[in-house]
Structure 1
């Protein structure tokens, strides 16, 4: 590694050298604030002719080779924002000189072009350009240079930081009395230049040390750099296109610059449950994960990217609330999307690690696709019931984090995944983490203020879809409430009707149609209206306060604000029409439309009816008593196994030269027990416990799986017992 203080102009004008920003670096991102800070530094330096100015560092990596034209490419590890901005200022100076040819300037367009600041004048192709940027910036920057060399070429257009900052410098130069000051300041600008040799210097460690504050780079930047720096310079572009770009493409539909950081935090909250992780932790956690799973050896970083891409797809589905590319004719896929939409509305980021865990279990064939849809339905019911019952949010977040960890233990123990999942919800009965019972849920729906409830539109949309499904099966609202015909129609009918766009419901039954809102049947101004006040009865104020925001007094409407204080007949007329004034059938409004009067009795009756429909829409799950009993806290404590690998060695249960055989038909392999009782893989690596050995074994055969328990995946001899059975 060579390091020293250099003048910037001398550094970038070296002959037969070009600077390449690697694909893993983020795009050019300096804004006006950073550009003006550099501008001020250059002016201060130019006005003080006896001083130089230090402006940071430029770190490059070379591989010791040159192109056929004799040009060496140096990868810019740190300092690309600075060097790009200086290049833009040089372009602005060249344009200024060209436009002000009569002024006596210490520089010219020709000098800037021919002195190697922006180009290698006598080289062609990539070697011609002194600076090659990454990704979308490359074409724009090269077009700027091409147009500077040949003004007849069209100027680049479109939104770009490159063009914005170039225009900023041109405006500043035009407003400056003495432009020579800028040229003089540039000539006196200094940096620490660090040049490393590939294979000899650790670029990643140097990169981290120069970005240790974490203020400039996101977790996505750091992780992308870490992954692609594992490849030689000549393979980084290919690795980016093959492994990293597909991961970015999967997350692209979210349209959020922070999507990767949010995804990777969610992934690690699943992988390391129940740990809490903040954005500041993500890079270190990523490196820990890579090391623990040996992704940093044997060219396995690509396997990690492919694994992350799969989970990124699950994450996007969780955020957007639906399966990407699902077949609408597949009822299981429709149900899965139906519940993902509900979870996205109700659970937010806290529920996503669990959703990823459920997708992982299905991918590993620990549950069927049907069971996955059912488990998502259980989660939606849990979230909705707790929201309606105003259960403690922190307890829920705690439970969801620990549930992911408990499911990993279920997997390791080889227990039935689906039954265990349901049981883990139900054993929380009587705790702050409980799954509200039917009685608690019904009582809350009937008595609470539902108009002020944030999820009221969602609840009404889902109830409407449920009633529409009952109608398709020939059921009345009363039948739907009793469960007879609606349950016969089943959840699939609810989902199918919603997907078909049932009138009065959203296509996914997770929101009211655009422009619709929640209407009070008995208006909020009822006490001021003689007819409505009479309908409220002798104790009008008490009846009003109990009923105005009750579930039974709410209805979806395309005109939620037009008739806030209208009569019952006027309300009924609006509830029977869509936003274009056309007649339509909204199942949730049928009983309101059929009413001859509307007062406390009708409101309470409808509240109870809709509460019963809700019990079917968000049911309490069931599991057999044996599965439930197995997860009672006292029983689980008694089942914990404390025998260690060393205990088996000391007892002679396993001995030197014993063979351990992978129990997975997908990943056959063997290990042996050494004379010191360690587990030795075919690679020669040794481990002091089964899980670490099995994780490394999976890595050595290119498996994507992680988090598997070695006790339940190693057998003692061919066809022998699992190690877990020996404890």
Structure 2
């Protein structure tokens, strides 16, 4: 490895060609980064006290490329974004200087159009690809060549290349007076020229450790380079052309930059059953790729598998699905923002493509997921267990009875993960603040269009409060609502019964109900289905709001259906109670005081924590479980010894009674040990037990 500080222009002049390999990410700098570079150049050029401006490192591999005669290209490992942006600026500068109105600047040092072009943009004596100083891959490369040559861009141009070139063109046209400062600033640009020797230096390790200026590398960038950087060039091209470039095309440039990291996180969840942290996707991927079962299959199988799942993700999450019914169901799910469901959905979609899951069953499964998430949101059930619910869902299924298994699993989820029943959903939907619900256009659209082939575009209408939002209600409204008008207004204003859609929101204003009903475009002649029946009402008061809410909630039960199965079928899926063969008599300390009294008091409190908690009597201890053991109780002669299944560093223990048993052999599960020897300690001990349960129930976040 050789590292030297170098003036960027001198570096470009001495290098014959910089090739950006196919595994590098596409050019991705936005106007924000271009503006920053412009500002830095102009500022340093205008200030004689600034001798240099450092713009990062250029890391490349020397040798090892197929060389013709004396032509010596190098392979860029890091610095592509800066090199491309500076090239675009220089190309825009050439174009500006060639215009008549700025020719007075042609004699400034090396800043003539001819010198700028022949020193920094092209190799004038070469032809073909060898002609260009900077050679990008795929669409980026074709667009950059068009910019440098001043020719028409390709039919499918690189948006970033063309937009940023246009940005610099506009800057130069707008700020002609800044050209002297610009010339000086460009001359002051400095880089670290870091040359690697093929066969001696590890490009991947160096690439990972780089912390250069500009846009931070995404997890996806690191993954792509990990897969392709270390392999033979021909295989690189094959894998990129056959698998990775199609992935980029499926996503599209904008979506690839913003959504590919999400996809890889879901992909790894499917493959490993574990949800990687958002900033640790790359590390999780390396571990997965290096696992014996994956490594044995080879790099092409792995890249091909990623390509396959990326297609599924784009179909569902980015609107790429072509089947109309599936497309609608995926759109509704996207609008509800159920990102945590994609690991499960990826499995379902793969089985649909493999003819294991019928299309109609997939549609119904997607609708069940939608209903599950929406009902839980309406019933205000915390979302922090959703990611684990969906990450582990597939393991519970019997694919020979696929849809039946999905329904049975939903129906068997414990209380904190439950699929809210019709009664609970119907009740809470009527009283929930739906106006400030994060997906209010979603639920309005679903109610309005359910069961109708001719959909109403909800976005063309606005939400109408039948009883106005204005806190200072008119006397007519106060009279209509009655003596308790203030309480009624506060209670029902943003709820289901009082909300509807209209195209006449501004005309309605705070008018009385009868006026809204009978005016032109009023409720009596509204084509909106949600307004059905309003034109026949004489009064709008608490009873009317509640009656309409109940009617719409009846409809919602059908829109967001709960799963149903015959009791006889559901019983076959019920988890059988594990018979251990042990009872209280196997724990002699539980048959006499004081341990018996302590145990009974603790037992009542633990079982009351949540309906999902179960008790299991084992030979050496008594286990209490939700997902798995969260506290195990070992009876002793004068006390109970509790093992809490939580990390010692995670437990909140102000009194300091917990003991770290991470490296000690103990009966029970967990790293924390607590002694319980007196009834007055019970409230504090239960606070510790509750922490272990809550960690298990809310393992991870929903995003």
- The match for 2:497 is 552
Q: CA deviation at 1:119?
A: 3.3
Alignment of 1:633-672 (within 5 A): 635=577
- What's the RMSD between the two structures over aligned residues? 4.4
Aligned partners of 1:42 and 1:182 also within 8 Å: yes
- The match for 1:367 is 357
After superposition, the Cα gap between the structure-2 partners of 1:551 and 1:55, relative to the gap in structure 1 and judged at 3 Å, is closer
Aligned partners of 2:275 and 2:391 also within 8 Å: no
- The match for 2:195 is 194
Q: Distance in 2 between matches of 1:362 and 1:121?
A: 55
Q: Distance in 1 between matches of 2:67 and 2:442?
A: 63
- The match for 1:718 is none
Aligned partners of 2:389 and 2:417 also within 8 Å: no
- Of the structure 1 ranges 561-570 and 32-41, higher mean CA displacement relative to structure 2 is found in 32-41
Matched, 1:311 2:309: yes
SS in 2 for 1:120: coil
- The match for 1:717 is none
Residue by residue, what CA displacement relative to the aligned partner does 1:32-71 show, whole Å, maximum 9, x if unpaired?
32455567778999987xx99896343125334223x642
SS in 2 for 1:387: helix
SS in 2 for 1:257: helix
Residue 160 of structure 1 is aligned with which of 153, 160, 163?
A: 163
- The match for 2:73 is 73
After superposition, the Cα gap between the structure-2 partners of 1:214 and 1:592, relative to the gap in structure 1 and judged at 3 Å, is same
SS in 1 for 2:380: coil
SS in 2 for 1:339: helix
Matched, 1:208 2:211: no
Residue by residue, what CA displacement relative to the aligned partner does 1:396-438 show, whole Å, maximum 9, x if unpaired?
xx14423432422546xx7744333222222235x22222222
Residue 380 of structure 1 is aligned with which of 364, 370, 379?
A: 370
SS in 2 for 1:221: helix
Matched, 1:422 2:407: yes
After superposition, the Cα gap between the structure-2 partners of 1:216 and 1:297, relative to the gap in structure 1 and judged at 3 Å, is farther
Q: Distance in 1 between matches of 2:71 and 2:62?
A: 14
Alignment of 1:595-606 (within 5 A): 595-606=537-548
Q: Distance in 2 between matches of 1:118 and 1:34?
A: 19
Residue by residue, what CA displacement relative to the aligned partner does 1:459-512 show, whole Å, maximum 9, x if unpaired?
34333334xxxxxxxxxxxxxxxxxxxxxxxxxxx2xx24x33xxx33xxxxxx
After superposition, the Cα gap between the structure-2 partners of 1:130 and 1:43, relative to the gap in structure 1 and judged at 3 Å, is farther
Aligned partners of 1:450 and 1:551 also within 8 Å: yes
Q: CA deviation at 1:247?
A: 0.8
Residue by residue, what CA displacement relative to the aligned partner does 1:314-363 show, whole Å, maximum 9, x if unpaired?
3334435x66211x4xxxxx2x4443333223343233333223323434
Which structure 1 segments of 5+ residues have no match?
A: 149-155, 329-333, 467-493, 507-512, 639-727
Paired residues in the alignment total 564
Matched, 1:437 2:382: no
Residue by residue, what CA displacement relative to the aligned partner does 1:582-621 show, whole Å, maximum 9, x if unpaired?
9553333222122234333333322222222222222221
Alignment of 1:232-381 (within 5 A): 232-234=232-234, 236-237=236-237, 239-252=239-252, 255=255, 257-278=257-278, 280-292=279-291, 300-301=299-300, 303-319=301-317, 324-326=321-323, 328=324, 334=325, 336-381=326-371
Q: Distance in 2 between matches of 1:459 and 1:104?
A: 65
Q: CA deviation at 1:545?
A: 4.6
Alignment of 1:387-398 (within 5 A): 387-394=377-384, 398=385
After superposition, the Cα gap between the structure-2 partners of 1:37 and 1:354, relative to the gap in structure 1 and judged at 3 Å, is same
After superposition, the Cα gap between the structure-2 partners of 1:400 and 1:517, relative to the gap in structure 1 and judged at 3 Å, is same
Matched, 1:568 2:555: no
- The match for 1:19 is 18
Residue 586 of structure 1 is aligned with which of 528, 532, 539?
A: 528
Q: CA deviation at 1:442?
A: 1.9
After superposition, the Cα gap between the structure-2 partners of 1:158 and 1:54, relative to the gap in structure 1 and judged at 3 Å, is closer
After superposition, the Cα gap between the structure-2 partners of 1:203 and 1:435, relative to the gap in structure 1 and judged at 3 Å, is same
Q: Distance in 1 between matches of 2:222 and 2:27?
A: 13
Residue by residue, what CA displacement relative to the aligned partner does 1:357-414 show, whole Å, maximum 9, x if unpaired?
33234345443222222222221221222222222232xxx14423432422546xx7
- The match for 2:691 is none
After superposition, the Cα gap between the structure-2 partners of 1:403 and 1:160, relative to the gap in structure 1 and judged at 3 Å, is closer
- The match for 1:5 is 4
Which structure 2 segments of 5+ residues have no match?
A: 152-158, 581-703
SS in 2 for 1:556: strand
Aligned partners of 1:59 and 1:194 also within 8 Å: yes
Q: Distance in 2 between matches of 1:104 and 1:518?
A: 63
- The match for 1:696 is none
Q: Distance in 1 between matches of 2:166 and 2:484?
A: 71
